[in-house]
Amino acid sequence: MSSTRPGRERTPCIVLGATGSVGQRLVALLAEHPWFELAAVSASDRSRGRSYGEACSWSLPTPMPRAAAQLTVGGIEPVEEWPLVFSALGSEVAGPAEEAWARSGALVVSNASSHRMRADVPLVVPEINPGHLALARRQPTRGAILANPNCSTIGLSLTLAPLWLAFGIERLHVVTMQALSGAGIPGVPALSALDNLVPFIPGEEEKLPRETAKILGTLTAEGVRPASLSLSAQCNRVAVLDGHTACVSLALGREVGADELRAAWEGFRGCPSELALPSAPPAPVLYLEEEDAPQPRLHRELGGGMAAVVGRLRPCPVLGWRYVTLSHNTLRGAAGGALLLAELAASRGLLEG
Amino acid sequence: MSSTRPGRERTPCIVLGATGSVGQRLVALLAEHPWFELAAVSASDRSRGRSYGEACSWSLPTPMPRAAAQLTVGGIEPVEEWPLVFSALGSEVAGPAEEAWARSGALVVSNASSHRMRADVPLVVPEINPGHLALARRQPTRGAILANPNCSTIGLSLTLAPLWLAFGIERLHVVTMQALSGAGIPGVPALSALDNLVPFIPGEEEKLPRETAKILGTLTAEGVRPASLSLSAQCNRVAVLDGHTACVSLALGREVGADELRAAWEGFRGCPSELALPSAPPAPVLYLEEEDAPQPRLHRELGGGMAAVVGRLRPCPVLGWRYVTLSHNTLRGAAGGALLLAELAASRGLLEG
Amino acid sequence: MSSTRPGRERTPCIVLGATGSVGQRLVALLAEHPWFELAAVSASDRSRGRSYGEACSWSLPTPMPRAAAQLTVGGIEPVEEWPLVFSALGSEVAGPAEEAWARSGALVVSNASSHRMRADVPLVVPEINPGHLALARRQPTRGAILANPNCSTIGLSLTLAPLWLAFGIERLHVVTMQALSGAGIPGVPALSALDNLVPFIPGEEEKLPRETAKILGTLTAEGVRPASLSLSAQCNRVAVLDGHTACVSLALGREVGADELRAAWEGFRGCPSELALPSAPPAPVLYLEEEDAPQPRLHRELGGGMAAVVGRLRPCPVLGWRYVTLSHNTLRGAAGGALLLAELAASRGLLEG
Amino acid sequence: MSSTRPGRERTPCIVLGATGSVGQRLVALLAEHPWFELAAVSASDRSRGRSYGEACSWSLPTPMPRAAAQLTVGGIEPVEEWPLVFSALGSEVAGPAEEAWARSGALVVSNASSHRMRADVPLVVPEINPGHLALARRQPTRGAILANPNCSTIGLSLTLAPLWLAFGIERLHVVTMQALSGAGIPGVPALSALDNLVPFIPGEEEKLPRETAKILGTLTAEGVRPASLSLSAQCNRVAVLDGHTACVSLALGREVGADELRAAWEGFRGCPSELALPSAPPAPVLYLEEEDAPQPRLHRELGGGMAAVVGRLRPCPVLGWRYVTLSHNTLRGAAGGALLLAELAASRGLLEG
């Protein structure tokens, strides 16, 4: 890992799927990253051979980084070798491409769902289950694939982990109200978003319980034994640009007061802040006091867009406790989360081959 | 009731709070009503003495009815006598005003929350608990107050009632995504609505369980004995103009298949359609097959805006079953619901003094 | 024309491009049309052979007409013969398909831009230039193509025609704020529409002056001699579902007072209302007095969505007069306009071959 | 001015109207300002005596500065003395309050329209007419009032000034599409903003020509002789959170090519960048090449939200040239503009009494 430490050179990396909505966030974040350096971008056939500045319909409010704009867009297969690969590919193409990069020796940090449930692929939220990274060494390839969880799962898991550790969780019910950027580019048509909501997101209600159980699960010789908790998710797309909100109700493993819950969240840190990883938020869970918080437009940027923001903790007559949580889906839930995962992997020596 | 039947004259009525968002819907619906005739409008001090056309900032896509535009806006206290009063007053002023009208002999159909939980006030969804109307005769006044439930409660109750009757309901969890029109005029500032949602609606999470239990409850000599069911509600305001959506999860009283649930909804009718009340929808609960239905902009007008639209019935790993429901909050949930209630009352002879 | 008059059978027709946003409006309007009967629907390859109910992602708030839902979607080339064809095809495929239908003997009413500027194709707003229909007889085919103008042009032209006739127009400047439905389905991505506007619509700034000049032009032996008026258009896409708004400034041919302008608009009728065509609005131009009118959500449905609504007439220090106008882009500006044009053609005998 | 230079102490200042939308921006910007220090906040009666953190419904995506949150909200009249006052008061109360502060000896930088047209009040865009600041010395009070122009006027003027200087401008036509934040808090109701636009903003169409003429005017012994140019403005409110867009058409004083126009914009700098004022953008006018730029969500933050962004320069058949411009209405158009103006005044010695 010497190459990624202060005083050393930055590790060159490539972003696969760089023209999409998560890819653009990655490109923006990498422009100022102290450890990693954006060396190449790749995308689907149509963009290949053009400069990134021309090929990409940039949709972030900050300007496209100049250096990125001049990169030529390459294909998604490994032609050159890069030690670090960020994949923002759609799941319909991510699977084989990411495997090819792992065979080429790269450390692949993937946002796609393709490999998340593979027994030897770590599905990691750095504050929660950094130990699962050990799975990567069981992969048969020279390099390895690390999976960043689904955008809704990450924020939810951050709020669950401290409760899970302190009190246990038996059952929970989650209704999400997810942002448009989660559907990528072009994504949801405006005619479906304005004066409307869509109470269905393909695959999402399955991913949330499955991935949460793996993240909170226990590493064994056979892989991760999923946490045993019953989770029901209903997922909706609403007219918000960034920031997934979730209404959570849960039954804990024992009787507990609001103060204890608050303390569990506020005391939660995890290794990213201990290791002072560059993308780590000061505190991964922030509790807001206002009776009408959190709100996407006001609070999604808190903690640099890397925190799960919580509010409205109150008793639930059906399950025990309920609260509202919000996290930035393309930062914490995708690009920022992938970056933090790569930083964790780097600090654990996974980039040194 | 002879006066309201075909061939007879229409019953004159007054709308209190006629310039607000529910008041405008009432004025629009009454313009073409076969039984009732809008004879007077009233509003807060600022509008008094001006014509309705001038005083009201009309916000419906259909033009203001000409006859209504020429009415002079009066005060909310009973100066003249009218047999039928629709109250769309805010709850901060509705209480005493509605009582004064009841003392004056009027039948008051109220959208305010002020009297909903009073032991002698019937809280009625005509398809569900028409028998509760009998409570009105226990009121000490010459006239009586009938309460239309909260806008979220009506739609939800319509989907619950057939299940409650057929299978029993033990527990349920509801997350609402409510429309902006539910907050009235001026209501929610645009800066809070665009690219945002607000996970809090004052009082709403208390009203939903309380009112649902009264509607599904049993009429006794002492009043209504509330239904014993445990209901947790989380209520959100989203960027939708009209139409409240709810994600419902519930535990029924016994094992039951999806077909039985569907059959219970589709077979549900209630007395409004039997009596052919003018505002009754053909079927109060509509089930849609599409995997991404119901959606507010596409489906809120179904059944003339008087139906509860249901979709996405599927098993819930935590409670048993889950589904999504949508209903038009200012039609079924307010103005149309009040009208249907008045029609029911008329058909039961409550307008004959 | 006997077949389309009261007491006669309805003329069967086909809608090309029936699954798009204008196509859906046509299907909805034809369901209740007294003269025409929807007999067939067609669309692009992907939908062919499926029922319209399955193939079409219906996006109107009123339910899909039952009869239409059961039609099988056919191809866009003429296999069967139909006397009347409504084309809502995109301009990339409309050209040859519409010509093929004209050769097959059909009267083709087109919403596409492909043939609008052809010398022998009438480009007609029925209230303005019904006489241009005579051009259709100069077409070499058995049937003929009639062109419905661009959605922005129709509304604007309706407000210009009475001024053009009464006072002359020398120069005008138009800035449009156009609705999302004008871009079709899927159209504008939500990420480009929310908290945003796009100050560019491909081809629109060229169509507006070109088509306006043809509509207001003079029929000669060589075709239509375009009206000589200088028109500058700037076109923007805004977050409105339906209804194109335009800010107009113009220099008239002579000095004139506001009263004269108002009188010209309010007195304007044209032959559709004289002929009592089924889709004719009571008055094609409506002037609103409110200082903040017209607004898309409040006023686009006036006159059944078939009127150009005008407001805010006031002097312009640069050009002379300015005003704001609004019209419903998928009703008056597309499907309703096409229907009215077909009705005019039918009443002129163009359907009798 | 020694107090505001590097190495010296920061000048303490007060924000009047600190709880509104411009006031909040001022508080946020002052938290990190190198020359000025937020020492006090004031607001209307209702908030007085509470902490700013409690009294203010914060609506920015960045957190409220901690130091500001602990300030006690005072009244808007001068009780204490402060050398520098930023006024974000509504124009209905700004007039007398700002005068009182000027009498108390303060330099008042005002965002209100109350004093903008007063003969002895400089109305200044620092890049354009810094010399007008000399007017302040003609005011009868110990302190002085400086006026920041209307939010639409600032951005427009920045794009006009280089053309005015290089070529002259004879006539221009402007249609604005203005953001919701320009209407303050609570401002526009969501029901008027969603799926809608409002083609009217009270007073705006008068302010734009009047203020532009003063800004581009010539300082004389009698005051500012307004620039003689004919300007017609039509102003609309659209569903955008921040960023006013304008479609401009203009007739220049002489024949000129697109390259010359572009060069005039790109070469424009003004004294703020020469003086390296802390809030000065690198270049006050930015030209974008994309055919669909500028767009509010993508480009309003360019130049730190302090630039006028221009695009789509093309010939206008009516007036000569047309283009689209965008600027951030609460940054460049209000809080940031006021700060830049105060910085200019400080660098000119106006803060030294």
Q: What are the pLDDT digits (tens) for A269-307?
A: 999 999 999 999 999 999 999 999 999 999 999 999 999
With beta carbons under 8 A apart, name residues in chain B contacting D186: 186, 189, 191
Residue % of chain D over a pLDDT of 90 = 93
Q: What residues of B are in contact with residue C60 (Cβ under 8 Å)?
A: 298
Mean pLDDT of all residues in A21-34: 96
Q: Is B260 helix (H, G, I), strand (E, B) or coil?
A: helix
Average pLDDT on B63-77 reads 95
Over range B96-114, report the average pLDDT. Answer: 97
SS3 A53: helix
CATH classification of the domain holding C279: 3.30.360.10
CA distance A307 to chain D (A): 13
- CB nearest A187 (choices: C181, C190, C195): C190
- Closest residue by Cα to residue A343 from A142, A109, A138, A137: A109
Q: Is B200 on the interface with A (CB under 8 A)?
A: yes
D318 to C177: CB separation less than 8 angstroms, yes or no: no
Same domain for D318 and D340? no
Query: Tens of pLDDT along A101-124?
Result: 999 999 999 999 999 999 999 999
Q: How many domains does chain B have?
A: 2
User: Which chains contact D through at least 3 pairs of Cβ atoms less than 8 Å apart?
Assistant: A, B, C
Does one domain contain both C138 and C171?
Answer: no
**Closest residue to D59, CB basis, from A58, A298, A301:** A298
Could you tell me if C316 lies within 8 Å of chain D, comparing CB atoms? Answer: yes
B–C interface: beta-carbon pairs under 8 A: 26
CB < 8 Å to C290, chain B: none
**Domain match, B33 and B166 both:** no
pLDDT per residue over B305-328, tens digit each?
999 999 999 999 999 999 999 999
Residues near B31 by beta carbon (within 8 Å), at least 6 away in sequence: B38, B65, B67, B68
Find the residue in B nearest to D240 (Cα).
B194
Do residues D80 and D54 touch, judged by C-beta distance below 8 A?
Answer: no
Task: Give mean pLDDT, residues A164-173.
Answer: 98
Which residue from C171, C199, C245 is facing D247, i.e. has the nearest CB?
Answer: C199
C330 touches chain D (CB under 8 A): no
Task: Please give the pLDDT value at position C6.
Answer: 54
pLDDT of residue B46: 82
Q: 3-state SS of chain C?
A: CHHHCCCCCCEEEEEECCCCHHHHHHHHHHCCCCCEEEEEEECCHHHCCCEHHHHCCCCCCCCCCHHHHCCEEECCCCCCCCCEEEECCCHHHHHHHHHHHHHCCCEEEECCCCCCCCCCCCECCCCCCHHHHHHHHHCCCCCEEEECCCHHHHHHHHHHHHHHHHHCEEEEEEEEEECHHHHCCCCCEHHHHCCCCECCCCCHHHHHHHHHHHHCCEEECCEEECCCCEEEEEEEECCCCCCEEEEEEEEECCCCCHHHHHHHHHHCCCHHHHCCCCCCCCCCEEECCCCCCCCHHHHCCHHHHCCEEEEEEEEECCCEEEEEEEECCCHHHHHHHHHHHHHHHHHCCHHHC
Which two tokens mark D199? 């083609």
Residue B173 sits at the chain A interface (C-beta within 8 Å): yes
Give me the interface pTM, i.e. the ipTM.
0.96
**Structure tokens belonging to residue B224:** 């209504």
- B301 contacts C61? CB cut-off 8 A: yes
Q: Is D56 a catalytic residue?
A: no
Q: Are B304 and B331 in contact (CB under 8 A)?
A: yes
Q: Are residues D288 and D340 in the same domain?
A: no
Residue C213 touches partner D, C-beta closer than 8 Å: no
Nearest Cβ partner for A61 among D58, D63, D301:
D301
**3-state secondary structure at position D81:** coil
Rounded-to-integer distance, Cα A293 and Cα A228, Å? 30
**Best to test chain B binding among C289, C298, C302 (most B CBs inside 10 Å):** C298
Burial class for D249, CB neighbours closer than 10 Å (0-12, 13-18, 19+): buried
C129 plus C160 within the same structural domain:
no
Do residues C106 and C84 touch, judged by C-beta distance below 8 A?
A: yes
For A218-269, write each residue's pLDDT tens digit.
999 999 999 999 999 999 999 999 999 999 999 999 999 999 999 999 999 9
pLDDT at residue A3 tops 50: no
- The stretch B130-134 carries a mean pLDDT of 98
Three-state DSSP state, A232: strand
Enumerate residue ranges in chain D where pLDDT < 70: 1-8, 353
* Nearest Cβ partner for D232 among C172, C239, C318: C318
User: B319 at the A interface (CB within 8 A)?
Assistant: yes
Question: Are D305 and D185 contained in the same domain?
Answer: yes
Q: Which residue of B has its CA nearest to D190?
A: B190
Confidence of residue C4 (pLDDT cuts 50, 70, 90): very low
Peptide bond into C63 cis (omega under 30): no
Find the closest chain B residue to A323 by CA distance.
B234
Among chain C residues, the shortest Cα distance to B292 is held by: C57
Which among D20, D7, D4 is positioned nearest to D91, based on CA atoms? D20
Based on the domain organization, do B159 and B292 belong to the same domain?
yes
Q: Which pLDDT tens digit goes with each residue over A304-336?
A: 999 999 999 999 999 999 999 999 999 999 999
| Same domain flag for B201 and B165 | yes
Q: Per-residue pLDDT tens for C130-151?
A: 999 999 999 999 999 999 999 9
For chain C, the C-alpha Rg in angstroms (whole number) is 19
| pLDDT band for position B2 (cuts 50, 70, 90) | very low
Q: What is the pLDDT of residues B6-40, one digit of tens each?
A: 556 899 999 999 999 999 999 999 999 999 999 99
Q: Can you tell me the distance from the alpha carbon of A248 to that of A173, in angstroms, rounded to the nearest whole number?
A: 6
- Domain CATH for A11: 3.40.50.720
Cβ-contact A93, A75 below 8 angstroms: no
Question: Do C176 and C295 fall within a single domain?
Answer: yes
Structure confidence at residue D2 (pLDDT):
34
Does residue A140 carry a pLDDT above 70?
A: yes
End-to-end CA distance of chain B: 9
Q: Which residues of A touch D61 (CB under 8 A)?
A: 297-301
Rounded to an integer, what distance in angstroms lies between the CA atom of residue D146 and that of residue D275? Answer: 19
- Residues of A marked active site are found at 151, 244
Shared-domain flag, residues B174 and B46: no
Residues in chain A: 353
Q: Could you write out the DSSP letters of every residue in B111-177? A: -SSTTTT-TTS-B--TTT-GGGGGGGGGSSSSSEEEEPPPHHHHHHHHHHHHHHHHH-EEEEEEEEE
Same domain membership, residue C322 and residue C193: yes
- Domain containing B314: what range? 151-328
pLDDT grade for A185, boundaries at 50, 70 and 90 = confident
Average pLDDT over chain C, rounded to whole?
95
- pLDDT confidence bin for C7, thresholds 50/70/90: low
pLDDT over threshold 50, residue C1: no
pLDDT in tens, C284-320: 999 999 999 999 999 999 999 999 999 999 999 999 9
Shared domain for A342 and A318, answered yes or no, is no
Q: Among C219, C199, C29, C198, which residue's Cα sits nearest to residue C111?
A: C29
Rounded to an integer, the average pLDDT of A86-91 is: 94
Contacts of B299 in chain C (CB under 8 A): 61
